[in-house]
Amino acid sequence: GNLGGALFLSEEHRLTLMAKSMETALRTDSDAQFFVRVGQPWGEYMTQGNHRLSPFQLVDALLRSHLGLSGVTLEIAMGYGPPGSLTRTRLAVSRLIDLWSLLGIQLHVVVACPSSLGPDVGAYGGCEVQPNSWRMNWSEEAQSAWIEDFIPMIAAKPAVTGVFMHSFGDSLAHRFPHSGVLRPDGTAKAALKTLTALRNAAH
């Protein structure tokens, strides 16, 4: 993806690695679809000074290499510190999707938002929930309300061909704390009922 970090590669080397990986995969299966994941799609990570290209510019460079990139997976993780994103309004998210739609490729959107402010023993990576970062403080009810507000708008965008939850349940290891729609004991949060209603309404 665009964030890098695991291999401590420079931006140029990371772009080269992604291009060569796609080239190799294309030779293996010419009919496959290839997506690149984009974390922090508003580019918050650029404030660290380790990147010259915005997320959009990075993917545009991959497209110009004509290696058969099919689409982009945008990771919208609201209510979290890094590697999540600052909380944005529906209008800001709508404009983000419209911008990425200009590339003319499929968009998958993976969303996450917290259902609690407390510690999450199942979360890894040190990501923290940001309190008071939305119109409701984060709770199971707030998570459900955020999903109800944002997912229909995202799914209605013509370029968006899939919307997914980053984590379905909190019992498995996950990057973003309290982001599942099932509690660690497997019982449903309010968000699951909301997702089910949205899915039924779409069909």
- pLDDT level of residue 59 (50, 70, 90 thresholds): very high
What was the pLDDT predicted at 4? 55
Q: Is 46's pLDDT higher than 60? A: yes
Q: Is 6's pLDDT higher than 60? A: no
Is residue 10 helix, strand or coil? coil
Domains in the chain: ranges and CATH: 32-202 (3.20.20.80)
Rg of the chain taking only CA atoms, in angstroms: 17
For the chain, what is the total number of helices (H) and then of strands (E)?
5, 4
Tell me the pLDDT of the chain averaged across its residues.
90
Q: Which pTM was predicted?
A: 0.87
Q: Cα–Cα distance between 167 and 5 in angstroms, integer?
A: 22
Q: Is 16's pLDDT higher than 90? A: no
- pLDDT level of residue 52 (50, 70, 90 thresholds): confident
What are the backbone dihedrals phi and psi of residue 150, each rounded to the nearest 5 degrees, phi first? -100, -40
